[in-house]
Structure 1
Amino acid sequence: MRTCAPYIERSDGQEVIEKLQINKTKRRRNMKTTTLSTKLIMAFAVVVVLFCAVIGVYHRTVVSVNSSYKSLIDTEIATADHAQGILKYMLQCRRNEKDFLLRSNAKYIDKLNGNYELLAGKVASIVTLANGAGDNKTAESAQELGDYAKTYLEKFENLADGMKVNGLTSSEGLQGAFRAAAHTIMVELAKFEIDVIETEYLLLRRWEKDYVRTNAKKYRGRLLSSLEKYETFLKSKTLSTKFRNNQEKALAAYADAFLAYESSEGEKRTAAYNAMRAAAHDQEKSLKSFYVPGAARTVLMIRRHEKDYLLRRTDKYVKRTESAVSELEKLITSSGISKDEKENLSDLLENYLSGFKALVAQDTQNKVYVAEMRDAVHKIEPAIAAFLAKAEEATKKNADTSAGQVRIALIIAAIAILVSICMAILIPRSITKRIIQIITGLSAASEQVTSASSQVASSSQQMAEGSSEQASSLEETSSS
């Protein structure tokens, strides 16, 4: 009775492994059965394909790099160049602004406007480039930068108009108006600036007392010298005509009384001295009616604080100027000058002070314009920096991309070279191996042929010997 072999069930994995081994074995048989010419053609085909791939990748890299750099130059680099131009013209505008503020010369207004036009042209160029490249964000940023620059220009124009209102020179605008008022005040007060005359009057009375007390010649000489000086001071063109006439009349009476005093004795001498005193009292009364004590000093203090403000533009000098004006008004009010003269001087002070306050108010508004200008500039600078940073980033990114493509081309070229080297090593080996196999086969076949020939020769000899023996047997048979 036949026994059946046990049935072993195989898994799917084992079947797949067996199929792979069978396919591998087939590929080896196919490679062994592949002719030499086919192997050579396949090897050269692989090398040609690899080098074609290298050439293709290189061409693609060159085209891509050229295209990238052209796009970079046409957009990002051009945008950065225009941004640099914006920065340059913005700095020129700031320089013109500072020159105008320092020198108050209207020519810098025109220069600033010219530089702004160049700046606006650069902004328009960036907007055009960005729109052409489809970069809406950059176009919006450039437009926003242009708006900041326009705001800067508008505020500068407001500032320039405000400074023109104040006056670009000391004779223009509000500055010219309150300066003219100050000069008028000084001219009017000059009529009452009799400090020197008052001092000389006091000296005259001193020498008079000393001479009457001592009758010394030195005091007589000093008294006569004071009389000459007094008369000279009265010839000043700034004095009021009325004051001068009153003083000259009293001074003449005093001089006549002094001469009478010197040439008389006793009661006549006493009467002459009393006449001298009466004339001196008339002088003093006239002095008091035309004298504003401390006016000259106070006016100089007003002008000093005014100049300090114009130089420094700080509020403390405004307060000092107003305080000095108030002090002068008190001096005028408390003086012995006439009511009409007091009102005239008060009106002049009011005109001066109102002009000065108007200038201060305009300066306050100008400071607002300056602050708004600076705010606009401080917004422009970061926008320019953003354009430059974007161009730098794009340049770096483009360089990195180009370097990556070059690396890929070099890797493929290296692979092609390695494959070529491998082919150069393997193909000769394959050829020599087949030749050796052929030679070995031919040698083996030759040996087989030689062996077979020897066997044939031996068989032929044996056959010949057999035939000879048969012939001898036949001869013997025939003989018998």
Structure 2
Amino acid sequence: MDKFFSRLRIGEKIGLGFTLVGLLFIGVVWHYHQTLATVLGDYRQLQVFEVRKSLALEIEIELAAVRDAEKRFLIEHQEAFAEETDKRLQTLHDKVAALAAVDQDSRQTAAALQDLLSTYEERFHAVADAWRIMGLDEDSGLQGAFRDKVHRLQALAANYNVDRLYTQLLQIRRSEKDLALRQDSAYRDLVRRLIAEFRQLLETSALQEAVRQELLAELTVYATSFEPYAEKALKGGNISGGKGPFRDAAHRIEAILNAYHVAELEASVLQLRRREKDFLLRGDDSYPPMVVALADAIRAQIASSLIADADKSLLFGLLHDYQQDFLALVEQSNSIGTLSREMSAAADLVAPLVKKNVDQANQMMASRVAEITESSEARSRLSLIVVACAIVLGALLAVVITLRIVHRVRLMAGLLDDLAYGSPTRRVPTVSGGRNEINAMGESLNSLVDHRATFMRWWKESMAEVNARRELASASSDEEKDEAMRDLRAAGIAKLQLLNGIRARLLQHGERVLDISQRIQAAPGSVSEQDAKALEHAAKGMATLFEVLATDDTPSSEAASVFSA
């Protein structure tokens, strides 16, 4: 670690510290954004559930509108309501498609809803088409067809409704015979009154104009020829057994009435219409058999009548067409009932499915809210921990970097203090090859202390040698000379040891210079700032040591002779 930090300059260390703090800050910001993204994702999930609920409610509302339009069509049988139902269904399909785009669960629900709605739509269109065939009003479809036929049948039945005329004719004939039997003028007056009433009935009847005119002509003949017969009868004359032109005219009138008489035809047709309308009103299956039975009875009435065969064929044809159209309408009504039940069944299945989707969305949202609450609390705690750790790590990095800078500065300050007021013995720890300015200052300060110590030791040893020489020169006895020689020998040995130390340091400087020169030769033209400073320091160190060695050769020679002695 020391070697790594020694390769960094103070600015680089400060920059590294700021970088690490920035990375911590970036990490905190990244964690914040990750937390925010998670919260936004959770919110989007909740929003998905809300969208599901909202669309489900809209589908319910739109389905209710569809059913309302459908019911109004079935009640009022108007195309506008069928078109409105189709428009509502298209809107409902769009809502379901929007639900399918929400999520996977909604997509499955939407697929089931689409199937049910398609079934409902098919059944509704089938019901609408069946009603169009059946007839949306009394003038369209099968309803209009059989209504037209029965109206023609009813109109023709009025032409054959001569029951009252026939009864009136019988009343006239009876009064005519009473006159012949009783010879009472009251019966003549009664015949006259009945003839007038017959004329009135004839004029107001629904008979064809030609038939009415023929009957009126015969009635005039009868009334004219009856008067002479009545006079004879009242006078008691010969009435020839009640025979005469009036009798022949009456027979002709009766023959004409028989030719246009179907007993109770109009009443039977009205009864037929009654049962038909009962079925249209109530839809009860018991009425169609009644209509068929009445139609058969009308056929029997027509078949037993004395009307012309062409008239019978016309009435039979109209009755057959009416019955056929009515039974087709009954079949369509039954088909509409079946399709309506299937349509309602499909629609009834939609609402539970939508409700299930809403319930599922509510459950999932409640569960997700609980999970989000729990995870939010956990993320909040984690965020606090991350921020606290970032603050602690930032402070720790600041302390570590500061201490690594300040510690050596304090060591150098203490060493300088020792250098100024004493003899320093400790050194600033340094790393060889370091780029750190503090490391370079430590190396320089160590070199300064070493040089000072070398000079001081050289000076002390030189002074000891001078003193020994002085004592040797001034010695008067052999003992003093021997002691002085020992001191001189000790001083020479000490200087020699110091020279060996200087030699070793010169060798180190030389090896360093050699190493740098080899690197320069390996990469010519490239001299790093570190190598340049190392060369400078080595050169100055060698120069300083050489200055120490630049002394007088005499003492050294003498010391050498002393050593040899």
Q: Is the 8 A contact 1:260 1:272 kept in 2?
A: no
Among 337, 340, 347, the alignment partner of 1:367 is 337
Three-state SS of the structure 2 residue aligned to 1:235 is helix
Query: Which residue in the other structure is 2:156 paired with?
Result: 188
Structure 2 residue 239 is matched with structure 1 residue 270? yes
Query: Which residue in the other structure is 1:355 paired with?
Result: 325
Query: Which residue in the other structure is 2:88 paired with?
Result: 115
Alignment deviations for residues 273-300 of structure 1 (CA, whole Å, 9 cap, x no partner): 4224443333323322221001111100
Q: What amino acid is the match of 1:113?
A: D
Structure 2 residue 70 is matched with structure 1 residue 101? no
Structure 2 residue 125 is matched with structure 1 residue 157? yes
Cα distance, 1:384 vs structure 2: 0.3
Q: Is the 8 A contact 2:183 2:236 kept in 1?
A: no
Among 23, 42, 46, the alignment partner of 1:68 is 42
Q: Is the 8 A contact 2:96 2:113 kept in 1?
A: yes
Q: What amino acid is the match of 1:389?
A: D
TM-score (norm 2): 0.57
Within 2, Cα distance between the matches of 1:103 and 1:361? Answer: 20
Query: Which residue in the other structure is 1:418 paired with?
Result: none
Within 2, Cα distance between the matches of 1:295 and 1:193? Answer: 7
Q: Is the 8 A contact 1:86 1:123 kept in 2?
A: yes
Q: 4+ residue stretches of structure 1 with deviation over 6 A? A: 57-66, 406-412
Query: Which residue in the other structure is 2:464 paired with?
Result: none
Query: Which residue in the other structure is 2:176 paired with?
Result: 208
Higher relative contact order (CA 8 A, sep 6+): 1
Within 1, Cα distance between the matches of 2:202 and 2:238? Answer: 28
Cα distance, 1:211 vs structure 2: 4.4
Q: Is the 8 A contact 1:58 1:409 kept in 2?
A: no
Alignment deviations for residues 302-349 of structure 1 (CA, whole Å, 9 cap, x no partner): 111111111122221111111111110000000111112111111111
Within 2, Cα distance between the matches of 1:225 and 1:210? Answer: 15
Structure 1 gap ranges (5+): 1-56, 413-480
Query: Which residue in the other structure is 2:138 paired with?
Result: 170
Structure 2 residue 299 is matched with structure 1 residue 329? yes
Alignment deviations for residues 143-176 of structure 1 (CA, whole Å, 9 cap, x no partner): 2201211221122112111111111111111111
Within 2, Cα distance between the matches of 1:248 and 1:271? Answer: 26
Alignment deviations for residues 59-94 of structure 1 (CA, whole Å, 9 cap, x no partner): 999986665344212x11101111111111111111
Q: Is the 8 A contact 2:177 2:242 kept in 1?
A: no
Query: Which residue in the other structure is 1:282 paired with?
Result: 252
Within 2, Cα distance between the matches of 1:104 and 1:269? Answer: 74
Q: What amino acid is the match of 2:243?
A: N
TM-score (norm 1): 0.66
Within 2, Cα distance between the matches of 1:318 and 1:380? Answer: 36
Structure 2 gap ranges (5+): 1-30, 383-565
Q: What amino acid is the match of 1:142?
A: A
Alignment of 1:380-399 (within 5 A): 380-399=350-369
Query: Which residue in the other structure is 2:200 paired with?
Result: 232
Query: CA RMSD, aligned part only?
Result: 3.1
Among 91, 97, 100, the alignment partner of 2:64 is 91
Three-state SS of the structure 2 residue aligned to 1:234 is helix
Alignment deviations for residues 410-448 of structure 1 (CA, whole Å, 9 cap, x no partner): 999xxxxxxxxxxxxxxxxxxxxxxxxxxxxxxxxxxxx
Q: Is the 8 A contact 2:52 2:106 kept in 1?
A: no
Query: Which residue in the other structure is 1:29 paired with?
Result: none
Q: Is the 8 A contact 1:261 1:268 kept in 2?
A: no
Query: Which residue in the other structure is 2:550 paired with?
Result: none
Within 2, Cα distance between the matches of 1:371 and 1:392? Answer: 32
Within 2, Cα distance between the matches of 1:117 and 1:343? Answer: 52
Aligned length: 352
Within 2, Cα distance between the matches of 1:216 and 1:80? Answer: 100
Q: Is the 8 A contact 1:69 1:398 kept in 2?
A: no
Among 93, 99, 109, the alignment partner of 1:141 is 109
Q: What amino acid is the match of 1:304?
A: R
Three-state SS of the structure 1 residue aligned to 2:196 is helix
Q: What amino acid is the match of 2:345?
A: D
Cα distance, 1:247 vs structure 2: 2.4
Within 2, Cα distance between the matches of 1:407 and 1:67? Answer: 16
Three-state SS of the structure 2 residue aligned to 1:171 is coil
Cα distance, 1:214 vs structure 2: 4.8
Bigger shift: residues 272-281 or 401-410: 401-410
Cα distance, 1:356 vs structure 2: 1.2
Among 147, 154, 161, the alignment partner of 1:179 is 147
Three-state SS of the structure 2 residue aligned to 1:82 is helix
Query: Which residue in the other structure is 1:128 paired with?
Result: 101
Bigger shift: residues 328-337 or 173-182: 173-182
Q: Is the 8 A contact 1:258 1:273 kept in 2?
A: no
Query: Which residue in the other structure is 2:216 paired with?
Result: 248
Q: What amino acid is the match of 1:361?
A: E
Among 307, 317, 320, the alignment partner of 2:277 is 307
Larger Rg: 2
Three-state SS of the structure 2 residue aligned to 1:72 is helix
Q: What amino acid is the match of 2:99?
A: I
Q: Is the 8 A contact 1:163 1:366 kept in 2?
A: yes
- Give the direction of change, closer, same or farther, for the CA distance of 1:227–1:392 in structure 2 (3 Å limit): same
Q: What amino acid is the match of 1:72?
A: L
Q: Is the 8 A contact 2:188 2:230 kept in 1?
A: no
